[in-house]
Amino acid sequence: MAPIKVTKICCIGAGYVGGPTCAVIALRCPHITVTIVDLNQDRVDAWNSEDFKLPIYEPGLEDVVRQARGRNLFFSTDVDKGIKEADLIFVSVNTPTKKTGVGAGFGADLHYVELATRRIAAVADSSKIVVEKSTVPCRTAESMRTILEANSKNHCRFDILSNPEFLAEGTAISDLFKPDRVLIGSLQTEEGLEACRALADVYANWVPQERILTVGLWSSELSKLAANAMLAQRISSINALSAICEATGANIDEVAHAVGCDSRVGPKFLKASVGFGGSCFQKDILNLVYLSESLHLPEVAAYWRQVVEMNEYQKRRFSKRVVDTLFNTITGKRIAVLGFAFKADTGDTRESASITLIRDFVAERANVHVYDPKVEEEQIWMDLTEAMPQLPAETIKKQVTLCSSALEACKDAEAVVIATEWKEFTLIDWETVYANMKKPAFVFDGRLLVDAKKLKEIGFKVTVIGRGNGL
Ligand SMILES: NC(=O)c1ccc[n+]([C@@H]2O[C@H](COP(=O)([O-])OP(=O)(O)OC[C@H]3O[C@@H](n4cnc5c(N)ncnc54)[C@H](O)[C@@H]3O)[C@@H](O)[C@H]2O)c1
């Protein structure tokens, strides 16, 4: 068969994955026209904004978009045109955990993937390579193929590839520039392998050949869930040990360092914290749990479920430690929460530990003062009202105040809780914070960020995750 050469790419979904990924493809492949389409007009407008006020914060992203936008990178709400013109289409739509129906709370909601796939079938009038970029359960590509084949016009053929995205928010651009690996899964047929080669050629414009892994479709789909499950499992493992440290007087930083020095283990992802967040870890593990249950593997399901349960426990444990330390009540007390994003260097708040902490503090009737350097106010109110559906928005707004700096949030507070590891929080002038706080002044470090010894010298009572009260 004739070799396929990709010259026009369409990406359906201009979110945290579709936007950065395809912007980098456009930058590195000036000979390919890349159009990113989305149904959300506000999001597309922000991608197209004259002052480059992009809808997501990601270090280095603005620079990439500035270089490629209008040259060979376009953002549009015209999904149909994008589909029609492309020879390769990335499906990069959201796949959240199902909220209702069969598999609710565990399985992935594939509704958006299905709608996007049906749209491709309905409007495509030439053959396409359709690439599953979203994280999906194993064998979703088969469902996509069935939909495409059942609805396509006679002369169109569709080759489905799986090309999961391994970028991490906060480092997306450097991850995309220098990926550990690019994974492409295809059917092992002549056509499947040719489509795989065509996509590999796109990445080969900047990714070394040995980092482009080509595998079977199902291995590719499962590898993404497996990678996230293993990463999250490391965090839950170190967090489980942090609880033991607090009870024994061991220090989790020292334990993690000693363990991580073992070359078989390695040092990464061993930082204890108030718990992992983000749109992927919990969702993807629950997905694996659901898959295991569907395959009648209850022990496997229970094993992975525990990773998520450990994470919930860690968040609960931390907020309880705050209440216990503040003499068993925080009613009417002012608590400063520093950080609302699920981790540093992103404005993403999905599944952020901060949301759970603030919900717990509000339930204890504390006055919570929140500051985050990147998260928009509107987003914080949306997350908090969703997390506390039983409370009217006015009640939440009475108990929660949004602040425009860390110093402002900490003023007159009885306790400061560090929930996100923003670099900015390492530069806080703690002497000033102390002078402006009620006494005794407490700091709860959920991110192993502060110099506890120095803070104690200033006069703070410091509680750090993974360290006993004697520190
Ligand atoms: N966020 C991450 O760090 C990350 C990393 C790797 C993989 N993933 C996976 O990538 C996928 C996308 O994640 P995200 O964080 O970019 O989600 P997102 O919610 O930020 O973006 C998805 C976008 O798709 C759009 N969309 C949905 N249905 C559409 C349709 N039919 N037509 C056009 N646009 C449509 C939505 O409007 C939204 O803007 C998910 O499956 C996720 O699991 C995410």
Are 160 and 256 contained in the same domain? Answer: no
95 is in an annotated binding site: yes
* Residue 393, helix vs strand vs coil: helix
Domain count, the chain: 2
Are 152 and 13 contained in the same domain? Answer: yes
Looking up residue 261, the CATH number of its domain turns out to be 3.40.50.720
pLDDT value at position 47? 98
317 is in an annotated binding site: no
**Ligand 1 close to Cβ of residue 82 (< 6 A):** no
- Domain containing 32 equals 8-207
Are 177 and 246 contained in the same domain? Answer: no
**Ligand 1 close to Cβ of residue 79 (< 6 A):** yes
CA of 117 to the centre of ligand 1 (A): 14
CB 36 within 8 A of CB 75: yes
Sequence-distant (≥ 6) Cβ neighbours of residue 452 within 8 angstroms: 445, 462, 464, 467, 471
* Residue 67, helix vs strand vs coil: helix
**Ligand 1 close to Cβ of residue 163 (< 6 A):** no
Which of 12, 17, 24, 173 is the pocket-test mutation for ligand 1 (most atoms within 8 Å of CB)?
17
CB 14 within 8 A of CB 47: yes
226 located within any domain: no
CA of 19 to the centre of ligand 1 (A): 9
390 located within any domain: yes
CB 38 within 8 A of CB 44: yes
Please give the C-alpha separations between residue 265 and each of 146, 211, 251, 268, 304, in angstroms, as whole numbers.
42, 22, 19, 9, 19
Which of 92, 131, 282, 345 is the pocket-test mutation for ligand 1 (most atoms within 8 Å of CB)?
92
Last-in-domain residue among 207, 232, 254:
207
Residue 469 confidence class, pLDDT cut points 50, 70, 90: confident
Checking if the pLDDT of 1 tops 80, the result is no
Tokens of 357: 């902490």
Q: How many Cβ atoms from other residues are within 10 Å of residue 234's Cβ?
A: 18
**Ligand 1 close to Cβ of residue 339 (< 6 A):** no
Are 272 and 177 contained in the same domain? Answer: no
pLDDT value at position 3? 86
Which residues are known to be catalytic? 280
Are 292 and 423 contained in the same domain? Answer: yes
454 is in an annotated binding site: no
Last-in-domain residue among 184, 207, 230:
207
96 is in an annotated binding site: yes
Atom of ligand 1 nearest to the CA of 16: 16
pLDDT value at position 463? 97
**Ligand 1 close to Cβ of residue 134 (< 6 A):** yes
- How are strands ordered across the β-sheet holding 158-162? 73-76, 33-37, 8-12, 88-91, 128-132, 158-162, 182-186, 212-216
pLDDT value at position 456? 97
230 located within any domain: no
CA of 128 to the centre of ligand 1 (A): 21
Which of 21, 42, 93, 352 is the pocket-test mutation for ligand 1 (most atoms within 8 Å of CB)?
93
234 located within any domain: no
317 located within any domain: yes
118 is in an annotated binding site: no
Last-in-domain residue among 207, 232, 257:
207
Give CA 70 to chain center in angstroms: 28
Checking if the pLDDT of 150 tops 80, the result is yes
**Ligand 1 close to Cβ of residue 251 (< 6 A):** no
Checking if the pLDDT of 184 tops 80, the result is yes
Are 159 and 258 contained in the same domain? Answer: no
Sequence-distant (≥ 6) Cβ neighbours of residue 241 within 8 angstroms: 252, 255, 256, 272, 466
93 is in an annotated binding site: yes
469 located within any domain: no
Q: Is 33 exposed, middle or buried (0-12, 13-18, 19+ CB in 10 A)?
A: middle
- pLDDT-above-70 percentage for the chain: 100
CA of 17 to the centre of ligand 1 (A): 6
Cis ω for the linkage preceding 389 (within 30 of 0)? no
Residue 464 bridge partners (DSSP): 445
347 located within any domain: yes
**Ligand 1 close to Cβ of residue 137 (< 6 A):** no
pLDDT value at position 226? 97
**Ligand 1 close to Cβ of residue 382 (< 6 A):** no
CB 238 within 8 A of CB 271: yes
228 is in an annotated binding site: yes
Which tens digits make up the pLDDT trace of 250-303? 999 999 999 999 999 999 999 999 999 999 999 999 999 999 999 999 999 999
The DSSP element (H or E) to which 58 belongs, if any, is: none
Which of 37, 94, 111 is the pocket-test mutation for ligand 1 (most atoms within 8 Å of CB)?
94
Taking CA atoms only, the protein residue closest to ligand 1 atom 25 is: 13
Are 272 and 402 contained in the same domain? Answer: yes
Which tens digits make up the pLDDT trace of 89-145? 999 999 999 999 988 998 899 999 999 999 999 999 999 999 999 999 999 999 999
Which tens digits make up the pLDDT trace of 72-103? 999 999 999 999 999 999 999 999 999 999 88
Are 191 and 251 contained in the same domain? Answer: no
470 located within any domain: no
Are 147 and 51 contained in the same domain? Answer: yes
**Ligand 1 close to Cβ of residue 115 (< 6 A):** yes
Are 155 and 197 contained in the same domain? Answer: yes
Nearest Cα neighbor of 92 from 161, 156, 31, 27 is: 161
Are 313 and 457 contained in the same domain? Answer: yes
CA of 22 to the centre of ligand 1 (A): 13
Are 263 and 175 contained in the same domain? Answer: no
